[in-house]
Amino acid sequence: MGQEKRLYILLKRNSYIMNTKQSIVLIVFSLIISACQPSSNRPIERWQHAVEGAYAGSISNDGNFSVVSSIHHGISLWDLNTNALKYQWSQQLQSSDNITLALAISNNNSHVMSANRTNFALWDIETGQSQGYWQVRNSNIRDIAISNYGDYLLIGKANGDVVHVTMANGRRLEFLGHSEKINSVDMLPNGRIAISGGNDFIAYVWDTVSGQVIYKFNHPSRVSKVALDAYGRYAFSGDSMNGAHIWDLKTGKLISDLKGTKRQEIFSSIRFSKDGKTMLTGAANRKVSVWEVATGKRLSHWKVSPKEANRPTGAVVYSVAFGDNGRILTESSSGYAELWQIPQ
């Protein structure tokens, strides 16, 4: 009986130790899982701006307006403070071959620029009136940017040209630094400095008066997205092989590389915060992220809502913006504008 009792106690003790170890493993595992989880995928508010999905979208820098292109509604300008439809515009025929594929709102909310493959248009936000339609020559439009008051327009083309247009006198400066297709362009609110990136693995920052290159940022693959901070502090360039960099716009020196990016995380939208400490990104895989500018560390991330369907669908995040009180606004190809709380 003494040996049986000792054996029983030993087995019970071993069972307790095993259960304790398992509990510790489970606790550690749950902590690891919770640390890797994205922020809540539930927006504070969601507004449908395009029933069948959107072809392009842009949110103003201050988060007050959003403009969306869709097959059924043409171009729609929304007041995001009230989610009220402000204007509906039509850039000629909205057919499958002539859909508005690029939109931009000036930093001071005075004008909207829209473009399909061969034409671009300018719209006055205050009056809702068209300021005119123009056609490009030789090649299709790939991306656009607009300055305050619509004084200057920037057009990136499939043949590698980037055209800077001065609206007051019709002056056209063609930047010919790229040798292949342009994928992304941006411009400071005053129209004085531009950035462009293309399939030649290069992002250029250049002077829109002289056309001279200011900085040249080399990449190991095609440059898919470029952006300038509206306050003139930073430049961003990202490529198709997960390279993403924040540059000092005054010196051209590297500030940080974004950490933990993946090849499928192709950035589709960039926005710097007013205080210059953080940066927002939207991607083609529904992902929205907040980054620390100084270190390139991802502070939080989540995914926008896909279009409602019987099977899982994706969504491209067309535009992101910082709102008030630690909130973020997104506009995506699902046709939804969404309001999110930045996790603390």
194-234 confidence digits (pLDDT tens): 999 999 999 999 999 999 999 999 999 999 999 999 999 99
Mean pLDDT computed over 228-253: 96
Q: Is the pLDDT score of 94 beyond 90?
A: no
Long-range contacts of 131-139 (CB under 8 A, 24+ apart): 131/167, 133/91, 133/92, 136/163
For residues 71 and 15, membership in a common domain is answered with no
Q: Is the pLDDT score of 36 beyond 90?
A: no
Q: Is the pLDDT score of 29 beyond 60?
A: no
**What values do phi and psi take at 53, rounded to 5?**
100, 160
Q: Give the pLDDT score at 9.
A: 39
Q: Of the given ranges (3-17, 24-38, 140-154, 289-303), which has the lowest mean pLDDT? A: 24-38
Rounded to 5°, the CA angle 185-68-320 comes to 60
The boundaries of the domain holding residue 314 are: 44-341
For residues 87 and 178, membership in a common domain is answered with yes
What band does 186 get if pLDDT is binned at 50, 70 and 90? very high
For residues 48 and 31, membership in a common domain is answered with no
For residues 4 and 93, membership in a common domain is answered with no
For residues 132 and 259, membership in a common domain is answered with yes
Whole-number average pLDDT of the chain: 88
Q: Strand 102-105 relative to strand 84-89: parallel, antiparallel, unpaired? A: unpaired
Q: Give the pLDDT score at 97.
A: 54
Describe the strand order of the beta sheet including 65-70 as a list of residue ranges: 56-59, 65-70, 74-79, 84-89
For residues 20 and 167, membership in a common domain is answered with no
For residues 19 and 90, membership in a common domain is answered with no
Q: Tell me, what CATH number does 124's domain have?
A: 2.130.10.10
Count of structural domains, the chain: 2
Q: Give the pLDDT score at 164.
A: 98
For residues 31 and 52, membership in a common domain is answered with no
Q: Of the given ranges (92-106, 266-280, 287-301), which has the lowest mean pLDDT? A: 92-106
For residues 124 and 214, membership in a common domain is answered with yes
